[in-house]
Structure formats: C-alpha cells, structure tokens
A and B are shown apart, each in its own frame.
Chain A
Amino acid sequence: MYQTTYVRASSLAEAANLLRDNPDAKLISGGQTLVPTLRQRLARASHLVDIVHLAELRGLTLEGDRVVIGATTTHAELAASDLVRQRIPGLAHLAGLIGDPPVRHLGTIGGSIANNDPAADYPAAVLALNAAVHTSRRTIGADDFFTGLFETALDPGEIVVRVSFPIPRRSAYEKFHQSASRFALVGVFVAVLADGSIRVAVTGAGPCVFRATSIESALARSFTAEAAESAAISADGLNSDIHGSAEFRAHLVPVLAARAVAQAR
C-alpha cells in the first residue's frame, strides 16, 4: 500500500469536506474491495476517510411501504435482518451470497453500490427493486444510478447515505458464481413490484448491471419459469473472459431468471 492518511470522520459534513479538499482522498466503509486494491497498489489514496462510525449512515427500518437501509449496513446485518427477510426475501438472500462470512461482516451496501463492480450482487437488487439511493446531496433513482463500468451517478464528494427499497410483492435472486472469486459470473434479480410491474436486473454479465427487458416482457405475459427461460438475451456487448464467454453468460441469464421466478416469494 502506498502512503496514506487515515481520518475517521466525525460527521457526514466533515467527510464531505475532506473529499472536497483532497481530490485523491477515498471514502472507506467496510473496505472489503478497497483495501485489497490498495494493498496490491492498483490504486492510491491520499486520505482514507472512514465513515463507518457515522450514526447517520446506520439503521435498517420500515418506513411505510419501504425498507430503508443505512449505507454502512453490512451484508451480514442485512442478510440476518428479520425485517428484510420478511419483506424482501430476495434481497436478504442476495446479501447472504456476497463474498464469505468475514467479508459480509465488514462489507457494506453503500460501499458496494458506490463501487459498482460489474460482478457485484447489490446493484442487481437496487435496479430490479427500483430502489432510491439517498446521498449527502439528493435522491437518485435506481435507473439513473448505475452508469457504467465502475461508474455511478455520484458526483465527486457525494456520499451514499441510505438506500430505500420499495417492498415488492415477490422477489428472488439467482447467482451463478465465478468459481475463483465467487463474485457473480451472472446474477439475476427478479422482482414483482407493488404495482405489479416486473423488473429483472442482471449483474456479472455486462460491463454494468442492466435490465433484461426481453425477460420482463415475457414475464409480464406469463410469470412462469418457462416464460423467463424462453426469452432470448443477446451476447452482444456482454463480458467475455477466462471464466465465461459472452455467449455463455447470455445463455445463463434466462436460465437463472427462470430459477429466480420459481423461487420468488
């Protein structure tokens, strides 16, 4: 790791000011992606601004028809939350599939979506459930949040504060692991929202999480595994690497979507 200065922020404002004043500063919450990246000297940070202790980023509450989750909620907390397990079972299941137990004890939802790794799990849930991302400055809808490979709509210095998920009628997440990293080679989140609309989001397959509209249309006609599986996904533009060709990933999307449909509750 290159030299850095660690600062434990005492307020959101202080964290934002540190980011504003130090363009090479980075936020750290769980650090489960950032620390290995820094360790391998693949990135450097003039400052590491630790926001994990800020009270305003904590919390996991039911607010009307939404479950609101603080940005520093860990994957383990979310997976174990009775509230999430009852109201959005697909989301709780997804959180329990991220990384491994020690990683889930530190990694946070805010860190995951802000990083927007193309193979991360949470972006699929945020997009499929049409969640809202509340930041230190504004609220960003899921459809606008994930903009590209490791890119989000967050401006420099903007901090994710909480994510609010509308409670769906049904949800499920199916993940096909990349065998080495156990990230998603392909992950498919299927949600039937309160208004009956169906959203299917895919992670791992492309450079950025995306909605599988052909599957959504098929499921709108018939919410069955067969319908999902019969929808075609084009391999164009999908990721291709030693772990899976674009064609294989394209093939897996409807297969996993079908399994998610069968699991959805």
Chain B
Amino acid sequence: MAQINVKVNGRAVSKQVEDRTLLVEFLRETLGLTGTHVGCDTGQCGACVVHLDGRAVKSCTMIAAQASGSEITTIEGLAKGDELHPMQAAFHRHHALQCGFCTPGMIMTAVDLLRRIPHPDEATIRANLDGNLCRCTGYHNIVKAIAAVAESGAGV
C-alpha cells in the first residue's frame, strides 16, 4: 500500500491506497471528487485534467503515489464558494459546454493556459487544447469563452 499525503483543494488529506491506484481513481473513488472524469485509457481526452502544484496535468496518467507531497486543485476547488472562477462563468455565458463531461478538464486546461499565456490569439488557444477532446461543441464556443476571459484580464 502507498501512503498518499496531499493537499486537495486546500484540504490536507492522508490516505493509504494500493500502489497501482491512479491519481484520478484516488480523487474520484477515495475522495469522492467525481468532477474529474475519465474518458480514455491513453491520455488523449483530457477529461481528467487537474492542477498539480499549479500546473495542468492528466490525473489518469499519473499514479497517486507520484503526486504525494503535492498540492492538487480539482474542478471542485476552482470556485471561491458561490463565486465562480471567471473561466467557469465564461463557459456558462458563452455556452462552451453541452453534455458537460469534458468540461471540468477543459476548464482546468483553459485556466492553466491563461496563467502561462495571458493573451493568446485564437490559434494559440486552439493549439493549447490539443490535450482535450470535446465531442459536443466543435470547440467554437470554448475558444470564444477562453478568449473572452483573456480579454477581460480576469484569467488568473
């Protein structure tokens, strides 16, 4: 068994799990944080993206033990209480989600993008979504929502 000591959404967590437990399994099954999703087995879809020490990573492509000692933010930890993160608000306002399944990973990737590149052009936004698949929106409104947050300067 592996001892996992992490801070998740600001809360210190200490749990023992099988060594083979993926980070996403730890989040979903051990901690009940089911906002992070699993959409593939090969690391392409990005439905599982969370922030690990401030950087976007795919939680299905890490075992939980690798993350021990780190701080993790999941989609559940992005809003400040009832106040949505500007990216969440923009996804809502611009209809950047339909079925919602890719949305948590997409939002976490988008927040990470604007932290790295505060004012991306459309091509840069699209290139930075290489690791996130959406089957519903054709990305049109996702790109619009991210661009709107960038424009407002409220990204970080």
Contacts and interface: CB of A to CB of B under 8 A. Distances in A.
Contacts of A38: 20
A44 to B, nearest CB: 10
A35 B20 contact: no
The DSSP consensus for interface residues of chain A is mixed
A1 interface: yes
Nearest to A5: B19
B2 A6 contact: yes
B142 interface: no
B20 A2 contact: yes
B66 A31 contact: yes
B22 A99 contact: no
B130 interface: yes
B61 A31 contact: yes
A161 to B, nearest CB: 20
Interface residues of B, number: 32
A102 B60 CA distance: 11
A206 B49 CA distance: 33
Contact of B66 (A50, A105, A181): A50
A71 B96 CA distance: 39
A117 B124 CA distance: 27
Contacts of A11: none
A4 B44 contact: no
Interface in B1-57: 2, 18-20, 22, 41-44, 46, 49, 52, 55-57
A1 B20 contact: yes
B72 to A, nearest CB: 13
Contact of A40 (B42, B55, B62, B132): B42
A215 to B, nearest CB: 28
A32 interface: yes
Contact of A6 (B63, B109, B116): B63
A144 interface: no
Interface of A: 1-6, 8, 28, 31-32, 35-36, 38-40, 48, 50, 52, 76, 99-103, 105-106, 180-182
Interface of B: 2, 18-20, 22, 41-44, 46, 49, 52, 55-58, 60-63, 65-66, 68, 109, 112-113, 116, 128-132
- Chain A to chain B: the 10 pairs with minimum beta-carbon distance, closest first: A100-B131, A100-B130, A6-B65, A1-B20, A105-B55, A6-B19, A102-B56, A102-B58, A35-B61, A36-B43
19 contacts: A1-B22, A4-B19, A6-B19, A8-B65, A8-B68, A31-B63, A35-B62, A35-B63, A36-B41, A36-B42, A38-B20, A40-B41, A50-B66, A100-B129, A101-B112, A102-B49, A102-B58, A105-B55, A105-B57
